[in-house]
Amino acid sequence: GAVVSQHPSRVICKSGTSVKIECRSLDFQATTMFWYRQFPKQSLMLMATSNEGSKATYEQGVEKDKFLINHASLTLSTLTVTSAHPEDSSFYICSAREGVPDTQYFGPGTRLTVL
Amino acid sequence: DQQVKQNSPSLSVQEGRISILNCDYTNSMFDYFLWYKKYPAEGPTFLISISSIKDKNEDGRFTVFLNKSAKHLSLHIVPSQPGDSAVYFCAARGLFQKLVFGTGTRLLVSP
């Protein structure tokens, strides 16, 4: 199956700093990537949809200035958590959509801890 | 407003038996349904999917059934193996390819 990688897998940062998370589709081109976050024992919540070469579309309640998304190429999307606060601590997961079959493949996730 | 629900938070099954995981949805506009398996601190792994125009899809030990009139789908795993122990999420695809996930069911298959 298609492979999606994320980097880093874990990051600990101080409050007020910015953190960048990378999502790459390794063996296919993804025109669309999605960013989710998951709180402990809860479901995955879609944060935003990232389309290559255009602005990301954010879900209701997600601050676009706080969670900056860039989808510069067909294999790379980045999520930057700006001025991170402890409440941003969560598990962030990206997915990349492959057209044939039309399925989303998920990365391994990034555990962000903001102190 | 939970559009996709998995009402059983956990399920325990003996090795070799059938595991049946259930999922209900409310939005009739969903056109595609998927099942994912997830281990802690990892991303979900795609298992099997079904289009809304079908009522069954089978792949090896995994079969997904869709009952559109009841807005219900289920995942059958036969025979269940200890390695199947994980959290299973059903997901429904809506507008703009967005997936809406259920809350997950933790499956434990004991030897």
**pLDDT tens sequence across B53-111:** 999 999 999 999 999 999 999 999 999 999 999 999 999 998 887 889 999 999 999 99
The CA distance from B4 to B25, in Å, is 4
Mean pLDDT throughout A15-41? Answer: 91
**A11-25, A92-106, B14-28, B84-98: which range is least confident on average?**
A92-106
Mean pLDDT throughout A3-12? Answer: 95
Q: What separation in angstroms does the CA of B78 have from each of B37, B61, B83, B85? A: 15, 5, 13, 13
Q: Answer whether B45's CB lies under 8 Å from B91's CB.
A: no
Measured between CA atoms, how close is A105 to chain B, in angstroms?
A: 7
- With vertex at residue A28, the alpha carbon angle to CA A24 and CA A34, rounded to the nearest 5 degrees, is 50
Q: Which residue has the higher pLDDT, A22 or A29?
A: A22
Give me the residue from B34, B43, B96 closest to A107, CB to CB.
Answer: B43
For residue A56, give the DSSP letter: -
Q: Answer whether A43's CB lies under 8 Å from B101's CB.
A: yes
Residues of A in contact with B97 (CB under 8 A): 32, 49, 97, 102, 104
Nearest CA in chain A to B102: A43
Mean pLDDT throughout A52-69? Answer: 91
**A50-59, A96-105, B67-76: which range is least confident on average?**
A96-105
Q: What is the pLDDT of residue A89?
A: 95
Ramachandran class of B52: left when φ > 0, alpha when ψ lies in -120 to 50, beta otherwise: alpha
Selected residue of B10, B25, B97, B106 to mutate for chain A interface (largest A Cβ count, 10 A): B97
Among residues A108, A106, A77, the alpha carbon closest in space to that of A2 is found at A106
Measured between CB atoms, does B20 come within 8 Å of chain A? Answer: no
Measured between CB atoms, does B101 come within 8 Å of chain A? Answer: yes
Q: What is the pLDDT of residue B16?
A: 97
Q: What is the pLDDT of residue A100?
A: 63
Q: What is the pLDDT of residue A55?
A: 87
Pairing of strands B86-93, B32-38: antiparallel
Q: What is the pLDDT of residue B1?
A: 66
Q: Answer whether B47's CB lies under 8 Å from B35's CB.
A: yes
Residues of A in contact with B99 (CB under 8 A): 34, 46, 95, 104
Pairing of strands B10-14, B105-110: parallel
At residue B40, what is the residue type? P
Residues of B in contact with A101 (CB under 8 A): 49
| Position B41 pLDDT exceeds 90 | no
Pairing of strands B56-59, B62-67: antiparallel
- With vertex at residue A79, the alpha carbon angle to CA A74 and CA A82, rounded to the nearest 5 degrees, is 150
Structure tokens at B108: 């434990």
Which residues are bridge partners to A81 per DSSP? Answer: A19, A67
